[in-house]
Amino acid sequence: MKLRNQEIWLAYSNLAKVWKLDLPAKTSLDISYILSKLQTPYLVIENERKKLIRKYGVLHPDGKQISVDPGSENEGDYSREFAEVLVSEWPDEFEFEKVKVQSSIIDANTLLPLREKILEVEEV
Amino acid sequence: MVTEQSTIYSTIPMQIFMINSIKKPIIDAVETLSSSDASKIDKVKAARKLWKAVHLISKMPEPTLESTWHPNSHNLIRLRDWLFERCFLGQKRMGLIRRLMNFVIILYDFDPPWRWVMDSLKDKAFEMEWKPKGYEDIRVYEWWKE
């Protein structure tokens, strides 16, 4: 299966949240397997995001944090370039089965980016 | 094949930028500019906000046949390109027209309620008797080349 970078970027952090829940051992293992497949692509995408923040962000007065000013021209450039990263397809195929989970244990926002390709939700 | 969910305009950073830095400031500014209760200072501030938001539209990728999914967005892109082969107003005005047309195409492509509004207007306009361009206007425009 092919995935777009946005699907990977959204799925990884949300799937990591699901993995931390009290799950049956086999479900937890299956999710761990998918996380391991998504981890490298996720880190590549996240590094690109951080690089763009360093390029277009400004240093806070505390000298520790860099962020992109909302409503600025820099925000426009950052958003466009990061969107170009996210809209691209990851070059490699992913091979994993959807993992069955119960909908009652996961909140809707976490579930949303996982429903289509990663998790098979069983309504209880 | 490009689908509704796979265009660059549907990505999270583009959505956040478009909603917070373009659509919301435009809606707020128009509200203030059309309010009889707003002070002159508020209206000047709103006009600046409006201009800034319009300027930021140019930071979005220009819609192309490859970057949009809806067949009617493709028609709008062809209309934009058709217009720009004929219309030669001043550079600044052409820049504004292009920005606004691009914004309308992007809205049409990814925002179903706006698409519904535009389609409804188009359908209603086609039911009306519409006068041709140049109706009761005998001038010859140098900036229009057929």
Cβ neighbours of A6 in B, within 8 Å: 11-12
Across the interface, do A6 and B7 touch by the CB < 8 Å criterion? no
- Rounded-to-integer distance, Cα A52 and Cα A40, Å: 19
What is the pLDDT of chain B when averaged over all its residues?
Answer: 94
Residue range of the domain that includes A50: 5-122
Kindly report the nearest CA distance between residue B7 and chain A, in angstroms. Answer: 7
Selected for mutation to probe chain A from B10, B21, B49 (highest A CB count within 10 Å) is B21
What pTM was estimated for this model as a whole? Answer: 0.85
Cα four-point dihedral sign A23, A25, A30, A36: positive
pLDDT tens-digit series, residues B117-141:
999 999 999 999 999 999 999 898 9
What is the pLDDT, as a whole number, of residue A63? 84
Q: In A, what residues contact B, Cβ < 8 A?
A: 4, 6, 10, 70-71, 73, 75-80, 82-84, 86-87
- Rounded-to-integer distance, Cα B121 and Cα B111, Å: 16
Distances in whole angstroms, Cα of residue A95 to Cα of each of A6, A123, B45:
18, 25, 54
To 10 degrees, what angle do helices B40-56 and B24-33 make? 150
Kindly report the nearest CA distance between residue A10 and chain B, in angstroms. Answer: 10
Which residue of A6, A71, A76 is in closest CB contact with B11? A6
pLDDT tens-digit series, residues B66-83:
999 999 999 999 999 999
What is the pLDDT, as a whole number, of residue B65? 96
Beta strands A58-59; A119-122: pairing state: unpaired
Give A100's strand partners: A120
Ranges of chain A with pLDDT below 50: none
Provide the ipTM: 0.85
Q: What is the mean pLDDT of residues B25-51?
A: 94
User: Which chain B residue's Cα is nearest to A3?
Assistant: B6
- Rounded-to-integer distance, Cα A86 and Cα A10, Å: 10
CB B33, CB B47: distance < 8 Å: yes
User: Which chain B residue's Cα is nearest to A76?
Assistant: B59
pLDDT greater than 90 at residue B5:
no
Q: Mapping DSSP to helix (H, G, I), strand (E, B) and coil, where does residue A52 land?
A: helix
Give the DSSP H or E segment for A58: strand A58-59
Query: Higher model confidence: residue A34 or residue B6?
Result: A34
Across the interface, do A76 and B59 touch by the CB < 8 Å criterion? yes
